[in-house]
Amino acid sequence: MNLIIDVGNTLVKLAVFKKRKLIFKTDFPINDLLDEYNIIKRAYPKLESVIVSSVGRLPKSTLSKIGEDLELHQLSYKSKLPFKNLYETPHTLGADRMALVSAATYHYPYKSILIIDAGTCITYDFINDKKAYLGGSISPGLRLRYTALNNLTANLPLLEKNQPTSFIGKTTESSIHSGVVFGALKEIDGVIDEYRAVYQDLTVILTGGDADFLSNQLKNSIFAHSNFLLEGLNFILDYNT
């Protein structure tokens, strides 16, 4: 059994896989990691290996503690990956993006795939039908857009995401929702269109915390995968052991 630990920008996601089947997942603040780990270790005594993916800072003492119990693999650009990495600065490629591309190669082998992760940031990652990762792009996610409007202006309020009822905002709040949500949707559809103009057989995957909120509003056809990153990490762990 494999333990997956994904340390994101806002939360830690923890999952247990039995071979390729997800049997448990949860998320929590990073300060609770060791407590949650101890609970999982007792609940699943047959755990053997763990992979840790971190886009932020994870204390070495935490890694050492987990590594005392399980065979530990910390994902980095030096990890063996199931695709050819053509990124010009591989040491700067986020572990989350490596995992998403790995999941794509597992689920959709030998296809041209655009993976869109709608989380704190919206990341776009492209792998061609020869399993070559070419790169992508990064833009602010919904939460960052709302936060930036509040932090960098004098009078705009901080709002929680909400589906706008009209493209034309008639109040300050509805104008913010229109700008943030429709702006993100138009961006995503526009990026998909750019890729499809070159790769007509493109498969598009949408995942991340805001995937459900956005998926039904896009004009382009996509496949929504809520556990795509976790599955990619599990695939990488198996690939390296």
Q: Report the catalytic residues.
A: 96
Distance between terminal CA atoms of the chain? Answer: 12
Q: If we measure between CA atoms, which residue out of 152, 188, 160, 190 comes closest to residue 176?
A: 160
**Number of residues assigned to the chain:** 241
Residue set of the binding site:
6-13, 87, 94-97, 117, 120, 172
> Apex CA 210: angle with CA 86 and CA 217, to 5°?
100
Residue set of the binding site for K(+):
117
Residue 83 sits at φ, ψ, to 5 deg, of -150, 165
Q: Listing from the earlier edge strand, what are the strands of the sheet with 132-140?
A: 84-85, 132-140, 121-127, 113-118, 203-207, 223-224
Helix (H) or strand (E) holding 141: none
d(CA 209, CA 151): 22
